[in-house]
């Protein structure tokens, strides 16, 4: 059993369904990776992010992006410092005063938060997102490390009707975990009934504030344990085989995919370890490879993403047979 | 000047840089070539441009170079809103009373970038022109605000040109400021699975890897391996190295060969052999290469350093051939493999072929070649494709038409700053010139402060590609027309134009996305275009009708149809009279590209001439390729 069970229960208490997103959110917290959730409006994306953030008692920064988003709104205030300096005036017979003006940023927002919810990230123009996403990636601003553990971004689908621009592929790559959600009612799953029943029974209070059920110390301990999870040669070989299949059989390349080394050779190991840890194991096992599906959503062509569970199944069987 | 003692010193200095190279080579798996190029750039005090797909380690490598070299470093991340003060420094406003009148002066105090020995310029192409212009000038002149800069090398990183990237790439002229140009390949994307396995194993170690530390506690860079005094002494010594006359002779012949190959019309891609780069910068790199080898003078084989300059200066085919061209020139049997990774320096293994035999015993001769030099060459992923079609002439002409028909950039609060205008309301203060805003707040500015005028290029415009997939288009014509379609998709994606794709034989087979012919799902179409199978007979009417119906709903002037075919229409109205009329009425330009053998059907000329479209045909090349030229 993992130490995040209370947080999972909290998510279940506040939001019906969306099992995968919930698991992926926990995975993001444990592995300290960022997560992007895309779905149509009204599918509890923001709510899930909020509950996860508040339930883990972390310093929380919520920002709704818009098309005029400026850097200063995300990282704090731009401060102009003015200092009087003496000057000899440069020319003989002159005397004067001068003012030195220095521009700096008073850290706030993303720079001081432990968990950030970036709502509607696809609404911000790609150019404006660049710095934001770099901060997310490097977890420092200038030379200063920032306390951020995970950013949870949400976005709308890239259809014309939402007037969004698709996120720049390099930008999307900053989110190790990527999921697509659809509305329970729209997709007609069983939970849709539960959802409606809950509201009908009046057991749901609109937007109650979740109580903290875990804390930073617990998450720190989990993160530390994550690095002790063993990743054996068999799992590594299977992972490489999956990647090889995507490249060779599904012809994923630089034009149609974002199969970057950073994500699939460095971060994938973390994700697998986190998945094992959440499953209560201290070594990565072949079933943990299923978590790779949360990494490929917007990185490979749809048919390759859809085929991934099958590929993983086949390769797992082969590895086991050896 | 060249006494025994300085020689000994030179060996030590070279050894220090060899150590730097080795340490740098360990930072990333399978990117030794880039490590060598960067080391040479620093030694020769040249600027370097690193490009590669996201997540391949560009920034990490550049940062590691700075850390290992012990240089005073400043990192600047370029973004849309970067300002002059970020680049240059603080503003000093001074007021002087002089003979009864007051003079206000505004000066800049050099900021950290101007004091850096190594400048890291991250994501350089994302900078708006306003910031880029002054920066590039500073880099070239190494002089700013009236004083020389301590700058040794600027290392810039940028993305590979990508289908859906919303940024404009740097122009060759801008890139020319960076003498060293390196292109990194992703291990996965490049099919380098052995290296990928090494990286996976590193990450699976039971302790937080360096990457892991970085992602929780900021950066963890390696400690410096050389001192500033050593670095500077080595740079001086490398710059003072003699270039042997036979090296110069070989260099002239190399330039001749490169010019010939570049002039060859079959080559596509960038071509810019500027005097600036190929005189001083190139020779500095050649000297640095010799110095690193521990050689007393630059020998012909040190010309190998030129290969780190060619990424954006020579056509791709010539780049790939560079090592062969050089080997041929030097008359040596090919003694080194130049795989993209696992690289070693050109000529580094050849022994005693010239006067620096004595240096072979120095630590620099071989030891700085990474142990991993024997990694296998990347596997060939696919069967041998037919010689490529050269679609650039068509794309260039099409871009010209699109730009001409295009609306000027629109004012848009989320766009790029493109000039200044007076402040209109106080909300805009955030975008105002900071100093003027300050003076304004103090009541010392007559009038309103100027503020950025933000503009965004119009996302308007659409292009529909109609592609003949009738039976006669089988084989290499299919491959070639896919290349044309992909090229057009890239052109459209760069401009955020909507695209439509219709394959046709006797019927039109439009590819709808979300129920629309025109959309921005470029990669989905790109994928589709790669899967076309040739079948059936040719009908122009149906696809033209489909495309024009799709374009009819849209607005804007910038609407194009590209018809790609190899033969005469057999089915439908073969004169497409009504479609021509409709296109004229809608103001849609119909461009035609004839890929077939023999004469182009006259109807294609009519279609283009009447609607102001381009007329292209595919001219077969010796060697089986195809080049698109204007009819």
**What is the 3-class SS of B451-520, one letter each residue?**
EEEEEECCCCCEEEEEEECCHHHCCHHHHHHHHHHHHHHHHHHHCCCEEEEEEECCCEEECCECCECCEC
Put simply, whether B553 touches A (Cβ < 8 Å) is no
All residues at 6 or more sequence positions from A41 whose CB lies less than 8 Å from its CB, including other chains: A156
Q: Which helix (H) or strand (E) holds B163?
A: none
Rounded Cα distance, B429 and B434, in Å: 8
Rounded Cα distance, B395 and B490, in Å: 9
Annotate A8-20 with DSSP letters as a single string. HHHHHHHS-S-HH
For the segment B216-221, the average pLDDT, to the nearest whole number, is 48
Segment A179-205, tens digit of pLDDT: 988 877 777 677 777 777 777 776 665
pLDDT of residue B339: 37
Assign B16 a pLDDT band (cuts: 50, 70, 90): very high
Put simply, whether B122 touches A (Cβ < 8 Å) is yes
For the segment B146-174, the average pLDDT, to the nearest whole number, is 75
Of A67-81, A229-243, B536-550, which has the strongest mean pLDDT?
A229-243
Q: Do residues A291 and A276 lie in contact, with contact meaning Cβ atoms separated by under 8 Å?
A: no
Q: Do residues A120 and A64 lie in contact, with contact meaning Cβ atoms separated by under 8 Å?
A: yes
Annotate A52-66 with DSSP letters as a single string. HHHHTT--EEEEE--
For the segment B543-558, the average pLDDT, to the nearest whole number, is 77
For the segment B267-274, the average pLDDT, to the nearest whole number, is 66
Query: Which one of B51, B63, B169, B186 would you mutate to disrupt binding with A, by most A Cβ within 10 Å of its Cβ?
Result: B186
Are the Cβ atoms of A169 and B54 closer than 8 angstroms? yes
Of B92, B416, B516, the CB nearest to A98: B92
Assign A159 a pLDDT band (cuts: 50, 70, 90): low
pLDDT of residue B376: 37
Q: Which helix (H) or strand (E) holds B52?
A: strand B48-52
Neighbours of A109 (CB within 10 A): 18
Is the pLDDT confidence value at B353 over 80? no
CA angle B397, B401, B404 (to 5 degrees): 135
pLDDT of residue A246: 93
Is the pLDDT confidence value at B156 over 90? yes
Distance set, CA B239 to CA A119, B242, B296, B302, B304 (Å): 54, 9, 12, 14, 17
pLDDT of residue A2: 54
Distance set, CA B590 to CA B403, B548, B630 (Å): 16, 10, 14
Contacts of residues B21-26 at CB distance under 8 Å and 24 or more positions apart, as own/partner, are: B21/B292, B21/B368, B22/B368, B22/B370, B23/B64, B23/B68, B23/B222, B23/B225, B24/B61, B24/B64, B24/B65, B24/B68, B25/B370
Task: Write out residues 521-540 of B within 8 Å (CB-CB) of A.
Answer: 521, 523-524, 526-527
- The complex's ipTM works out to 0.83
Of A12-16, A119-123, B198-202, B371-375, minimum mean pLDDT range: B371-375
Q: Which residues of B touch A170 (CB under 8 A)?
A: 54, 159, 162, 165
Are the Cβ atoms of B414 and A102 closer than 8 angstroms? no
Higher pLDDT, B370 or B61: B61
Segment A54-83, tens digit of pLDDT: 888 888 888 888 777 777 778 888 788 888
Annotate B353-388 with DSSP letters as a single string. SSGGGGGGGSTTSSTTS-GGGGPPPPPP-SPPPPPP
For the segment B57-80, the average pLDDT, to the nearest whole number, is 89
Q: B291: left (phi > 0), else alpha (psi -120 to 50), else beta?
A: alpha
Query: Which one of A32, A149, A252, A265 would you mutate to disrupt binding with B, by most B Cβ within 10 Å of its Cβ?
Result: A265
Q: Take residue A286 and report the two structure tokens written for it.
A: 């072949």
Q: What is the mean pLDDT of chain A?
A: 82
Of A126, A169, A265, the CB nearest to B203: A265
Rounded Cα distance, B120 and B219, in Å: 15
Are the Cβ atoms of A227 and B165 closer than 8 angstroms? no
The residues facing A308 across adjacent strands are none
**B413: DSSP letter:** E
Rounded Cα distance, B438 and B447, in Å: 13
Neighbours of B239 (CB within 10 A): 15
Rounded Cα distance, B516 and B512, in Å: 5
pLDDT of residue B196: 92
Q: Take residue B332 and report the two structure tokens written for it.
A: 């040596």
Are the Cβ atoms of B54 and A98 closer than 8 angstroms? no
For the segment B456-482, the average pLDDT, to the nearest whole number, is 80
All residues at 6 or more sequence positions from B141 whose CB lies less than 8 Å from its CB, including other chains: none
Higher pLDDT, B283 or B405: B283
Of B54, B196, B199, the CB nearest to A170: B54
Are the Cβ atoms of A266 and B199 closer than 8 angstroms? yes
State the pTM of this model.
0.72
Are the Cβ atoms of A32 and B216 closer than 8 angstroms? yes
Rounded Cα distance, B109 and B182, in Å: 33
**A229: DSSP letter:** S
Are the Cβ atoms of B93 and A255 closer than 8 angstroms? no
Integer-rounded Cα radius of gyration of chain B: 28
Q: Which helix (H) or strand (E) holds B28?
A: none
* Count of all residues that appear for chain A in the document: 322
Q: Do residues B402 and B461 lie in contact, with contact meaning Cβ atoms separated by under 8 Å?
A: yes
All residues at 6 or more sequence positions from B315 whose CB lies less than 8 Å from its CB, including other chains: B261, B262, B267, B268, B269, B270, B271
Is the pLDDT confidence value at B273 over 90? no
pLDDT of residue B528: 84
Q: Which helix (H) or strand (E) holds B295?
A: none
Closest CA to B248 of B285, B284, B298: B298
Q: Which residue of A has its CA nearest to B57?
A: A262
Give the minimum alpha-carbon distance from A62 to chain B in angstroms, rounded to a whole number.
21
Annotate B563-619 with DSSP letters as a single string. EEESS---BS-TT-HHHHHHHHHHT-EEEEEE-SSSPPPHHHHHHHHHHT--EEEEE
**B259: DSSP letter:** H
Is the pLDDT confidence value at B568 over 90? no
Annotate B189-257 with DSSP letters as a single string. TTT-HHHHHHHHHHHTSSS--HHHHHHHHS--PPPPSS-HHHHHHHHHHHHT-EE-HHHHHHHHHHHHH
Of A223, A239, A253, the CB nearest to B200: A239
What is the residue whose two structure tokens read 């850290």? A107
All residues at 6 or more sequence positions from B395 whose CB lies less than 8 Å from its CB, including other chains: B487, B488, B490, B491
Q: Do residues B628 and B618 lie in contact, with contact meaning Cβ atoms separated by under 8 Å?
A: yes
Q: Do residues B575 and B544 lie in contact, with contact meaning Cβ atoms separated by under 8 Å?
A: no
Are the Cβ atoms of B80 and A85 closer than 8 angstroms? no
Are the Cβ atoms of B413 and A67 closer than 8 angstroms? yes
Give the minimum alpha-carbon distance from B418 to chain A in angstroms, rounded to a whole number.
14
Of A85, A94, A134, the CB nearest to B97: A94
Q: Is the dihedral of CA B539, B542, B546, B549 positive or negative?
A: positive
Of A82, A230, A256, the CB nearest to B523: A256
What 3-state class would DSSP assign to B75? strand
Is the pLDDT confidence value at A300 over 50? yes
Expressed in angstroms, the distance from the first to the final Cα of chain A is 30
Q: Which residues of B touch A169 (CB under 8 A)?
A: 54, 162, 164-165
Of B81, B188, B204, the CB nearest to A247: B188
Are the Cβ atoms of A125 and B206 closer than 8 angstroms? no
What is the residue whose two structure tokens read 């994307």? B189
């Amino acid at each position: 059993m993992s130490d995040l069970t209370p947080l999972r229960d909290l998510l279940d208490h506040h939001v019906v369904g969306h099992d995968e997103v919930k698991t992926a959110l926990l995975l993001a917290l444990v592995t300290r990776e960022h997560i992007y959730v895309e779905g149509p409006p009204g599918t509890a994306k923001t709510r899930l992010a909020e509950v996860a953030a508040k339930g883990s008692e972390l310093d929380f920064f919520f920002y709704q992006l818009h098309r005029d988003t400026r850097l200063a709104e995300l990282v704090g205030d731009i401060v102009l410092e003015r200092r009087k300096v003496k000057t000899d005036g440069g020319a003989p017979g002159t005397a004067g005063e001068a003012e030195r003006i220095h521009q700096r940023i008073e850290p706030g927002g993303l720079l001081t938060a432990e968990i950030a919810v970036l709502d509607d990230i696809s609404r911000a123009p790609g150019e404006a997102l660049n710095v934001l996403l770099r901060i997310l990636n490097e977890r420092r601003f200038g030379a200063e490390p920032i306390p951020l553990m995970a950013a949870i971004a949400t976005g709308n689908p890239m259809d014309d009707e939402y007037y969004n621009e698709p996120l720049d592929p390099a930008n999307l790559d900053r989110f190790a975990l990527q999921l697509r959600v659809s509305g329970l009612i729209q997709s007609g799953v069983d939970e849709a009934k539960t959802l409606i029943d809950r509201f009908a029974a009046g057991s749901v209070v609109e937007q109650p504030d979740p109580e903290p059920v875990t804390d930073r110390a617990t998450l720190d301990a989990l993160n530390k344990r994550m690095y002790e999870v063993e990743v054996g040669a068999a799992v590594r070989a299977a992972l490489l085989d999956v990647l090889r299949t995507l490249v060779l059989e599904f012809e994923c390349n630089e034009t149609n995919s974002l199969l970057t080394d950073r994500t699939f050779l460095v971060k994938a190991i973390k994700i697998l370890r986190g998945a094992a840890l959440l499953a209560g194991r201290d070594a990565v096992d072949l079933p943990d490879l299923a978590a790779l599906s949360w990494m490929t959503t917007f990185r490979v062509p749809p048919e390759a993403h859809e085929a991934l569970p099958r590929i993983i199944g086949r390769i797992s069987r082969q590895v086991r047979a050896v | 000047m060249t006494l025994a003692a300085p020689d000994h010193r030179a060996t030590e200095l070279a050894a220090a840089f060899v150590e730097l190279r080795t340490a740098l080579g360990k930072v990333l798996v399978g990117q030794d070539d880039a490590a060598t190029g960067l080391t040479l750039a620093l030694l020769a005090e040249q600027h370097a441009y690193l490009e590669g797909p996201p997540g391949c380690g560009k920034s990490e490598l550049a940062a590691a170079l700075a850390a290992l070299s012990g240089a005073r470093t400043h990192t600047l991340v370029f973004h849309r809103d970067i300002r002059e003060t970020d680049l240059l420094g603080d503003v000093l406003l001074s007021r002087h009373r002089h003979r009864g009148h007051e003079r206000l002066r505004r000066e800049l105090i050099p900021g950290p970038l101007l004091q850096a020995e190594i400048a890291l310029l991250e994501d350089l192409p994302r900078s708006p022109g306003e910031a880029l212009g002054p920066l590039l000038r500073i880099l070239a002149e190494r002089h700013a605000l009236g004083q020389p800069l301590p700058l040794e090398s600027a290392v810039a990183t940028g993305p590979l040109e990508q289908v859906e990237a919303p940024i404009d790439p740097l122009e060759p002229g801008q890139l020319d400021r960076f003498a060293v140009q390196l292109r990194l390949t992703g291990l996965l994307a490049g099919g380098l699975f052995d290296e990928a396995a090494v990286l996976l194993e590193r990450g699976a170690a039971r302790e937080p890897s360096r990457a892991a530390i970085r992602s929780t506690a900021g950066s963890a860079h390696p400690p410096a391996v050389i001192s500033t005094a050593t670095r500077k002494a080595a740079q001086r010594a490398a710059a003072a190295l003699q270039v042997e006359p036979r090296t110069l002779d070989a260099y002239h012949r190399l330039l001749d060969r490169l010019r010939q190959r570049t002039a060859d019309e079959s080559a596509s891609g960038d071509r810019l052999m500027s005097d600036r780069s190929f005189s001083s910068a190139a020779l500095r790199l050649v000297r640095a290469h010799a110095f690193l080898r521990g050689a007393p003078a630059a020998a012909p084989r040190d010309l190998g350093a030129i290969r780190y300059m060619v990424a954006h200066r020579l056509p791709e085919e010539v780049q790939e051939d560079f090592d062969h061209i050089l080997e041929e020139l030097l008359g040596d049997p090919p003694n080194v493999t130049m795989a993209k990774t696992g690289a070693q320096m050109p000529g580094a293994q050849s022994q005693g072929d010239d006067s620096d035999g004595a240096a072979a015993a120095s630590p620099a001769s071989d030891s700085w070649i990474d142990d991993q030099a024997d990694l296998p060459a990347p596997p060939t992923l696919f069967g041998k494709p037919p010689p490529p079609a050269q679609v650039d002439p068509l794309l260039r002409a099409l871009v010209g038409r699109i730009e001409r028909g295009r609306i000027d950039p629109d004012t848009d609060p989320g766009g790029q700053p493109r000039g200044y205008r007076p402040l209109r309301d106080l909300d805009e203060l955030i975008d105002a010139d900071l100093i003027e805003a300050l003076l304004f707040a103090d009541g010392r500015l007559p009038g309103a402060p100027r503020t950025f005028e933000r503009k965004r290029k119009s996302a308007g415009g659409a292009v529909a590609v109609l592609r003949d997939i009738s039976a006669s288009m089988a084989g290499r014509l299919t491959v070639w027309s896919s290349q044309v379609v992909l090229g057009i998709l890239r052109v459209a994606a760069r401009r955020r134009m909507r695209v439509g794709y219709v394959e046709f034989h006797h019927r039109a087979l439009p590819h709808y996305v979300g129920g629309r012919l025109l959309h921005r799902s470029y990669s989905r179409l790109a994928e589709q275009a790669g899967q076309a199978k040739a079948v059936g007979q040719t009908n122009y009417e149906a696809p033209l009708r489909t495309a024009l119906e799709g374009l009819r709903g849209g607005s804007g002037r910038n609407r194009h149809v590209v018809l790609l075919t190899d033969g005469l229409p057999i089915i439908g109205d073969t004169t497409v009279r009504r479609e021509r009329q409709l296109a004229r009425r809608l103001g849609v330009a119909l461009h035609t590209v004839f890929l077939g053998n023999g004469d182009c059907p006259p109807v294609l000329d009519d279609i283009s001439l009447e609607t102001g479209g381009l007329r292209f045909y595919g001219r077969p090349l010796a060697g089986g390729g195809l080049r698109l030229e204007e009819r």
